[in-house]
Amino acid sequence: MTARLPLLILLGTLSPITRAQSCEDLTQQSTSTISIKASVADKLPAACHVTATLHPTPTSDIHAEIWLPLAGWNGKLLVQGSGGWGGSFASSAEPLRRGYATASTDDGHTGPSASFLLGHPEKLADFAYRAEHETTLLAKRLIQAFYGHAPARSYWVGCSGGGREGLIQAARFPDTFDGIIAGDPADIRRNSWALNIAIQSFKDPEAIIPPSKYPMIHRFVLDACDANDGLKDGLIGDPTTCHPNFRTLQCKSADGTDCLTTRQVQTAQAIISPAKDSTGKVFFSRLEPGTELRWSRLAGGPTPADLFLDEFRYAVYQDPAWDWRTFNLDRDAARAHAIDKDVDELDPNLSAFVRHGGKLILYHGWADQQVAPTNTVDFYKSTLASSKTATNPDWARLYMLPGMAHCSGGEGPDTFDKIGLLEQWVEHNQPPAEVIASQQTEGKTTRTRPICPYPKTAHYNNTGDPNQASSFTCTAPH
C-alpha cells in the first residue's frame, strides 16, 4: 500500500515556488524548520498529507492540513470550514474520494473552547478569516509546486461556523473561490440571541421546560401546522406560516406531563418569537416551530452552552467568570458588535465576489435548533439586493430543507449532493433548480423530497407515495 507522508511545516518566509517531484520535496516551499514523519495510508486514497503551522502575526498559531492526491487528482481544490469555535480539522475523506486536493484549518487554536481569545484579541481575526485565507493560499502554493499548475477551480464548503466562514471569505477575498457552499451559517449575533433566550427560559428555574414535555409540545405544533402545506406527513413545509398558541397547553390545575405551567408557556412562546431590543426592533429571527424535540440545546439549562457563552467570557468581557445572568440584549449585543463588526460579522454586499464570477449555494434546515433559519433567508434577500451586477446576474441560490436540524439530522430529508450541484453550475453553466434530498435510516433511504430554490416550496400532487420526490412539485408562493 502506498505510504502517505505527513509534513510538519513551521511556515516562515516563503521561498520562490520550486517544482516538487515527491511529497518530501514540498518541504522546499518553506525556509523554516521542517519535520517529516511517514505513516501508512489506511482507508483514504493515497495522498501527500501536509500539516503546517503558520504565524502571519506574532501571536498567530494557525494549524493547517492539506491533502494532495498521488493519483487521480481532478485538478481542483476544496477547502472545508469549521464548526463552532473551530479547534480541529475537517474530515478529508469525501473530498479525496472525489479526487480533490483538500484543505482545512483549526482556526488558530486547539480544542472547542474560545478561551484562546483571553488576552489575545488578535486571535479573533485568525479565527474569523485569517486562518482560512492563509490555509487556502498555502494549499494553492503547494498544488502549484506538486502538480506544476494551479488548481483549475477552487471551492469552499462549510456548515454552521463553516458557513459563516465561507461568506466572510467571499466578502474579504472575493477572487479566492469560484464557488462557495454555506450551510446554516452561524451569524455571530446568534450568541446574543441564544443568551437572550436563556434569560427568558431558564434564569428562573420555574420557567424551565423539562425535556420529557418536548414530544408533547412537538405533537401539538404538528397538529396545528403540519397540514398547512397540503400534506400531513410529520414535516412543516414552511414554518413561517405556523403560529401555535401555547396558551392552549396551559395546565388547568396542577402541573402534569401533558401541559405547561404559566411560566413554561411564556418560555415556549419566547423560543419561537424573534429577539427584539428595547425599541421593538428585531435583533434576530425566531427559532421555528418544528424544533421542539431539540429545544434543550438553547433552552434546557441550567446554564447556556459554552458555544454561546464563550464570546462574552473571552472576547467581550475577557472574564472566564462572567455571569450570564447579567446579560442584557441592548447593552451586551452592542458591546459584542463593537468587537465583531469589522472582523466576524456577515457583510451581505458580495459584489466583488459576483464580479469575479463566483457562485453561492446557501442552504438551511427549517428545523435548525441552533441558528434561526429565517436569518439566512434575510441574508439571502439582502445579498441579492446589495450585490447586483450586470455581468453575473444569476449567482446565488438558497435551499430551505423542511424538517432538517442543524446542518443534518431531524425528521426530514437532509442529504443531497451539494458539491456536485456547485460543480455543474460553475463548470458547466447549469444553474441548479430543484434538488432531490434523501433521508437515511440505518443506511436505507426512507424518504426523498424535492428541495426547491427559495422562495419556491415543494407541494404534494395529491397522488403518489408521499415519501417519494416524484409525488411533489416545486411551486412559487401565491
Which of 298, 320, 340 finishes a domain?
Answer: 340
Rounded mean pLDDT, 63-76: 93
Whether the pLDDT of residue 3 is over 90: the answer is no
Q: What is the layout of strands, in order, in the sheet containing 396-401?
A: 34-36, 6-11, 47-54, 62-69, 101-105, 76-80, 153-159, 179-183, 359-365, 396-401
Residues 319 and 356 in one domain: no
| 307 SS3 class | helix
Residue 430 carries which side chain, given as an amino acid letter? Q
476 lies in some domain: no
For residue 99, how many C-alpha atoms fall within 13 Å in the half-sphere facing its CB? Answer: 10
pLDDT single digits (tens) 77-95: 999 999 999 999 999 999 9
- Decide if pLDDT at 458 tops 50: yes
Q: Per-residue pLDDT for 462 more than 50?
A: yes
H or E segment to which residue 346 belongs: none
Let me know if residue 457 belongs to a domain: no
Domain endpoint, select from 340, 368, 386: 340
Burial of 467 (0-12, 13-18, 19+ CB in 10 A): middle
Q: Of the given ranges (36-45, 212-221, 374-383, 427-436), which has the lowest mean pLDDT?
A: 36-45
Shared domain check, 389 and 310: no
Phi/psi region, residue 138 (left: phi>0; alpha: psi -120 to 50; beta: rest), is alpha
445 domain residue, yes or no: no
Mean pLDDT of the chain: 91
User: Residue 58: which pLDDT band, with cuts at 50, 70 and 90?
Assistant: confident
Same structural domain, 271 and 315: yes
Indicate if 355 and 420 belong to the same structural domain: yes
38 inside domain: yes
- Decide which of 435, 450, 473 is a domain's last residue: 435
Band (pLDDT 50/70/90 cuts) for residue 442 is confident
- What pLDDT shows up at residue 233? 95
308 has pLDDT over 70? yes
Same domain, 329 and 352: no
Q: What is the mean pLDDT of residues 198-221?
A: 96
Query: How much is the pTM?
Result: 0.93
Residue 5 is predicted with a pLDDT of: 41
Mean pLDDT of the 198-220 span: 96
Position 10 scores a pLDDT of 39
pLDDT at 36: 29
Tell whether 214 is covered by a domain: yes
Q: Given a cut of 60, is residue 382 above it in pLDDT?
A: yes
Q: What is the pLDDT of residues 7-46, one digit of tens each?
A: 443 333 344 566 667 787 777 665 342 232 323 255 678 8
Asked if residue 164 and residue 225 are part of one domain, the reply reads: no
pLDDT at 26: 76
CATH number of the domain bearing residue 170: 3.40.50.1820
pLDDT in tens, 406-425: 999 999 999 999 999 999 99
Residue 220 has pLDDT above 50, yes or no: yes
Mark whether 177 and 269 lie in a shared domain: no
Total number of domains constituting the chain = 2
| Of 298 and 23, the one with more pLDDT | 298
Question: Strands (DSSP E) along 130-171, which ranges?
Answer: 153-159
Range of the domain at 308: 190-340
88 shares a domain with 226: no
Q: Is residue 91 part of a domain?
A: yes
How much is the pLDDT for 9? 39
* pLDDT tens digits, one per residue of 251-283: 999 999 999 999 999 999 999 999 999 999 999
- C-beta separation of 263 from 206 below 8 A: yes
List the single range of 43-47, 122-126, 457-461 with lowest mean pLDDT.
Answer: 43-47
Residue 22 confidence (pLDDT):
78
The percent of residues in the chain predicted with pLDDT above 90, rounded, is: 83
Q: Are residues 229 and 314 in the same domain?
A: yes
Residue with cell 397522488: 463
- Same domain, yes or no, for 114 and 40? yes
Measure CA 240 to chain center: 21
pLDDT given for residue 97 in this prediction: 94
* pLDDT score for 390: 66
Which of 160, 156, 173, 56 has the alpha carbon at shortest distance from 112?
160
Same domain for 148 and 23: yes
Q: How far apart are CA 425 and CA 77, in angstroms?
A: 16
Asked whether residue 203 carries a pLDDT value surpassing 90, the answer given is yes
Tell which phi-psi region holds residue 51, choosing left (phi > 0), alpha (psi between -120 and 50) or beta: beta
What is the CB neighbour count within 10 angstroms for residue 11?
19
427 inside domain: yes
Domain check: are 138 and 57 in the same one?
A: yes
- Could you tell me if residue 131 is inside a domain? yes
Give the residue, 238 or 37, on which the prediction is more confident. Answer: 238
Pairing of β 275-276 and β 282-284: antiparallel
Decide: residue 182, CB within 10 A, 0-12 exposed, 13-18 middle, 19+ buried: buried
